[in-house]
């Protein structure tokens, strides 16, 4: 039997860079190994410690464009000078096998998914304040000053879009935020 998205198995997290999406997802996956996290493709350079086909499929712009032109992405967008996209094949396969699928993508991609998968639950992760967001991006110490500036600029646009989402979770206390996400996606009562 093909499990459709209307069964409520596609979930999406969006939020400004540095808000803590990766941290939340790591904990969520360790508590709920049945969730399958989609691995995105990107043209950005790997950060220290990032592994191809595990954190991202790292691609050249030519490879990315080729896959996009073949209709291989569920959605894709440009973010801070690089392309990012969700390869559709694996997502559709996992949904068909009945697994909950989680996407972690930026605003433009979330808007595309809203068009193609209106039943997907879209959660926006917000910071307690803009100052705290900047502290977290800088504290992570993975990005250049230019990349940080681009991400903070984009964060303003993302934060003003939060009311488009099905739910807003403020990542103040990590544990509390995880529990709220678990309730939203129906993993606990």
Give residues in contact with ligand 5GP (CB under 6 A).
17, 40, 44, 75-77, 79, 84-86, 104-106, 108-109
Closer Cβ to ligand 5GP, 156 or 188, answer by number: 156
Q: Per-residue DSSP letters for 127-180?
A: -S-HHHHHHHHHHHT-S-HHHHHHHHHHHHHHHTTGGGSSEEEE-SSHHHHHHH
Nearer to ligand 5GP, 139 or 188 (CB): 139
188 belongs to the binding site for ligand ADP (CB under 6 A): no
Please report how close the Cβ of residue 121 comes to ligand 5GP at its closest, in angstroms. 16
Which of residues 9, 10, 20, 155 is near ligand ADP by CB under 6 A?
20
Instruction: Out of 74, 84, 106, 136, name the contact with ligand ADP by CB under 6 A.
Output: 136
Give the total residue count for the chain: 189
- Nearer Cβ to ligand ADP (112/171): 171
Radius of gyration, CA atoms only, the chain: 16
Partner whose binding site includes residue 174, from ligand 5GP, ligand ADP, none (CB under 5 to 8 Å by kind): ligand ADP
CA angle 41, 133, 75 (to 5 degrees): 25
Distance CA 97, CA 4 (A): 10
Decide which of ligand ADP, ligand 5GP, none touches 171; Cβ closer than 5 to 8 Å per partner kind.
Answer: ligand ADP
Binding of ligand ADP at residue 14 (CB under 6 A)?
Answer: no
Q: What is the dihedral of CA 10, 14, 17, 18, to 10 degrees?
A: -80
Which residue, 84 or 185, is less far from ligand 5GP as judged by CB? Answer: 84
CA 51 to chain centre: 17
Does residue 21 touch ligand ADP according to CB under 6 A? yes
Q: Name which of 25 and 95 has its Cβ closer to ligand ADP.
A: 25
Distance of alpha carbon 133 from alpha carbon 128, whole angstroms? 8
């Amino acid at each position: 039997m093909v499990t459709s998205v209307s069964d409520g198995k596609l979930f999406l997290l969006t939020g400004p860079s540095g808000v803590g999406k990766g941290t939340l997802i790591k904990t969520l996956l360790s508590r709920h190994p049945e969730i399958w996290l989609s691995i995105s493709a990107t043209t950005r350079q790997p950060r220290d410690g990032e592994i191809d086909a595990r954190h991202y499929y790292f691609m050249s712009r030519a490879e990315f464009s080729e896959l996009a032109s073949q209709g291989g992405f569920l959605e894709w967008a440009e973010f801070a000078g690089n392309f990012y996209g969700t390869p559709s094949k694996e997502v559709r396969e996992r949904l068909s096998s009945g697994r909950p699928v989680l996407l972690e993508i930026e605003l433009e991609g979330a808007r595309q998914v809203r068009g193609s998968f209106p039943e997907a639950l879209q959660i926006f992760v917000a910071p307690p304040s803009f100052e705290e967001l900047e502290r977290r991006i800088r504290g992570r110490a993975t990005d250049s000053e230019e990349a940080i500036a681009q991400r903070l600029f984009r964060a303003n646009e993302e934060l003003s879009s939060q009311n488009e989402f099905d739910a807003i979770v403020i990542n103040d206390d990590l544990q509390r935020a995880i529990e709220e996400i678990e309730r939203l996606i129906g993993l606990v009562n």
